[in-house]
Structure formats: C-alpha cells, structure tokens
Amino acid sequence: MLPRILITASLTPADSKRPSLSVSVNYTDSVLRAGGLPMVVAPMESPQHIREALSQAGGLLVIGGADIAAGRYGAESSPLSTPLHPRREVFDEAILAEALAMGLPVLGICLGCQTLNVHYGGGLYQDLPAERPDSTVPHRLKAVSQSPRHSVQIEPATLLSRILGVEPLDVNTSHHQAVRDVGKGLIASAHAPDGVIEAIEDPSRPFVLGIQWHPESLAGEPRHEAIFTAFVEAAARK
C-alpha cells in the first residue's frame, strides 16, 4: 500500500465566507513521483475528524500560502502582511499539532515552514524588504519558476544534510516573510547568503522539516525531488 500523505489546501478569497479550496498540482505530483498517495484534506473544526483523517495517513504536508496573523507570535500586525483565511489558519495549526502529537512525519513548505516555527513558539519577519533592507538576496519573485535563484548553505549533521548533502543548493524563492526567531526545540538547518533562515527541523524527531523555498516547482531537479522522496519514505515507515 502506498503511504498516504495528507496535504493542506488554500482557501480563497481570504475574506470570503464561502471560499474555494485549491492546491497546486505541483504538490500532489511531487508526492506521486516520490511514491506516495496524495490526499488533499479540507479544513475541519472537529478534533475527532482531524484525528480520524490523520489516523489513515503516513505524513502531513503543509503547503504555502499567505501570512500568519502576527498576534500568534506576539507581534503587532504590519500593513505589509496579507492575511490567511482565518479558517485555514486555525485548521493548519490544529492538524499540525495533532500530527506532531501522533508522531507523524511533517513537511512544511514556505508558509508551512513558518507555521511550524510559530507552533514551536518562534517568531517571523513580517516583511523582509522592510525589516532587512540591507539584504541583496531576491527572496520574493513573482513566480517560483523565475530567475535569478539564490543559493542556500545547508548545515552539517542535520536531517536536511542527510537528504541533500552539504553542498550549496540553488533554490527558487517567492516569500516576503521568513523565520526570525527559531522556535524552542527546532534548529535552523539552512541559510541564505544574507543569513535569512531557509530551513528548520526538529532534531528530536525522525522527520519534522520546514523549508522556505518551493521544491514542488522544481520537478526534474534531483536534489529538490529528494526532499519528497525522503518524506514519503519516512511516511512509509510509520
């Protein structure tokens, strides 16, 4: 049986009472190529429903999206932030917390990385251009397929280094927020040339990883696809 990977979804528009559910096929295709069975999960309010969904899964993938409410990490909201749909924000936190409680492998991408950090008590940059005006790294491009990319340096003796090695990696980039203060129990496992954190992980667990870039949009590039392969393999061991 293929390991089932639950994938969160975007809710748009953010201010709608009847939003649409959407997930890029890049996420589902990446899981399929890695040998997993992608299952998109709709936001649910009931803890019982969340547990039931996760009981049938081998891992949780939290995808990208807009911005987490600053109050959740003790900051005042910036006018440069773009709020998530409240229902998605509540659900992402709830399903992440339950997945961790159940010991499931977790992969967070872009917003998913930030959600993971905030769950562990960490803080975020609300807008890198405003808060890091000294940086010359192009963190936010209009499309993740755009050039130029930037490199990241992977820290040795980390989960990420076991997956990718420690050679610098060129990554795509489409974010204006990022991890500022690493959550308790997490470590930073990759950095951009300007020092911005590009990956975090929980070293006490077999596979809990957040990455700021978008490997799902880099099909055909072996090192980026290796992230999904390692994630699905971890899910298969559950």
Q: Which residues are catalytic?
A: 110, 214, 216
Residue 231 tokens read as 């994630």
CA distances from 213 to 5, 30, 102 (A): 20, 14, 26
Shortest CA distance to 83 belongs to which of 16, 133, 166, 168? 16
Label the pairing between strands 123-125 and 20-22: unpaired
Rounded-to-integer distance, Cα 87 and Cα 18, Å: 11
Label the pairing between strands 20-22 and 10-12: antiparallel
Q: Which residues contact residue 222 at a Cβ distance below 8 angstroms, ignoring those fewer than 6 apart? A: none
Strands, sheet with 4-7, edge to edge from the N-terminal-most edge strand: 37-40, 4-7, 59-62, 106-109, 208-211, 197-201, 187-191, 150-154, 169-171
How far from the centroid of its chain's Cα atoms is residue 178's Cα? 11
For residue 7, give the H/E element and its range. Answer: strand 4-7
Rounded-to-integer distance, Cα 25 and Cα 23, Å: 6
